[in-house]
Chains A and B, each alone.
Chain A
Amino acid sequence: MKARVTVTLKNGVLDPQGKAIEGSLGSLGFEGVEGIRQGKVFDLELADRSEAQAKADIEAMCEQLLANTVIENYSIELL
């Protein structure tokens, strides 16, 4: 089974990379971009298990490694 984890910076955490990307889009002539936050996506392939088990397992992975919950939020999507 497949799953996707999306990790994003929490509100209030500065994102200098997002700011730089925003500036670069502006210099390419894209107008009206009012903010960009850079995040990460992880595509997981898991041996089969129940959906509930998969969610619980991936949540543990996020808490322990995939996200730094001091600065990042995560969301889990089973595909």
Chain B
Amino acid sequence: MKSAVILFPGSNRDRDMIKALEQISGQPVATVWHTETELPEADLYVLPGGFSYGDYLRSGAIAARSHIMPALKTAADQGRHVLGVCNGFQMLTEAGLLPGALMRNASLHFVCKEVMLETTSTNSAFTSHMEKGKVWRCPVAHHDGNYFADAETLKELEGEGRVAFRYADGTNPNGSINDIAGITNAKGNVLGMMPHPENLIEDLHGGVEGRALFESVMQSLAA
């Protein structure tokens, strides 16, 4: 699996993501600065976590309008896989690649802790090789993770099995509607999620639960 991580001023989980992708794919990971207008060839493009542009205006709003974004939209239209984690998820909604919006946490607090996630759908490459219904732990670290979508959009997401991950066991850290932690687009090649699977990759992290997601993409691509 060839992968590329797109970098923005204020990204801060980019190295975690690159390291995770390198370890799991066994291949070097390309990086792309946001001012570029073309993407390198890759199977998976990742928007990493962080605080691009200091969260000015709205989280992810400025990054979502950067020069590289038209190329990312084209890649998504062509069926390439796109993953946005945390700030990357916020960018994907701001860019219109995923529906809904990520609002300020209901508690108003920045949350940095482990939550439990349920894999609620295995409809996409990101989850097709994961176990449906499995509950696993995953770290979150965000201030604006409170997913919101209007009733019609929610019905679509739920009806089409596009809620990939839900906060489980009462661990919803942000007030997100329907406990939504991650969603995919209609085609299933774009996933946005608030939790950080790239931070549970090796034993030194205290667990390897995050590997399954990346391995699922790899296995789907190989199939």
| A30 and B141 alpha carbons, distance in the complex (Å) | 35
Interface residues of A (CB under 8 A from B): 12-14, 16-17, 20, 64-66, 68, 70-71
Nearest to B177 among chain A residues (CB) is: A14
- Docked-complex contact B148 and A16, CB < 8 angstroms: no
CB distance from A71 to the nearest CB of B (A): 5
Residue B120 is within 8 A (CB to CB) of chain A in the complex: no
Nearest to A70 among chain B residues (CB) is: B101
- Docked-complex contact A16 and B106, CB < 8 angstroms: yes
Picked from A20, A64, A66, A71, the residue with its CB within 8 Å of the CB of B101 is A71
Number of A-B residue pairs, CB cutoff 8 Å, is 38
Residues of B within 8 A of A12 (CB): 150
- Docked-complex contact A70 and B175, CB < 8 angstroms: no
CB distance from A12 to the nearest CB of B (A): 8
Residue B100 is within 8 A (CB to CB) of chain A in the complex: yes
Question: Provided the pairs A14-B148, A16-B106 are in contact, do residues A68 and B61 lie with their beta carbons within 8 angstroms?
Answer: yes
Interface residues of B (CB under 8 A from A): 57-58, 61, 65, 93-94, 99-101, 103-108, 146, 148-150, 175
| A68 and B103 alpha carbons, distance in the complex (Å) | 11
| A46 and B108 alpha carbons, distance in the complex (Å) | 35
| A65 and B150 alpha carbons, distance in the complex (Å) | 20
Residues of A within 8 A of B94 (CB): 68
Picked from B103, B105, B175, the residue with its CB within 8 Å of the CB of A71 is B103
Picked from B58, B93, B108, the residue with its CB within 8 Å of the CB of A20 is B108
Nearest to B60 among chain A residues (CB) is: A68
Picked from B93, B105, B149, the residue with its CB within 8 Å of the CB of A16 is B105
Residues of B within 8 A of A17 (CB): 104, 108
Residues of B within 8 A of A71 (CB): 101, 103, 148
CB distance from A25 to the nearest CB of B (A): 16
Closest 5 CB pairs of A and B: A70-B101, A71-B101, A16-B106, A16-B108, A16-B104
| CB<8 Å pairs between A and B, sample of 30 | A12-B150, A13-B103, A14-B146, A14-B148, A14-B175, A16-B103, A16-B104, A16-B105, A16-B106, A16-B107, A16-B108, A16-B146, A16-B175, A17-B104, A17-B108, A20-B108, A64-B65, A65-B57, A65-B65, A66-B57, A68-B61, A68-B94, A70-B93, A70-B100, A70-B101, A70-B149, A70-B150, A71-B101, A71-B103, A71-B148
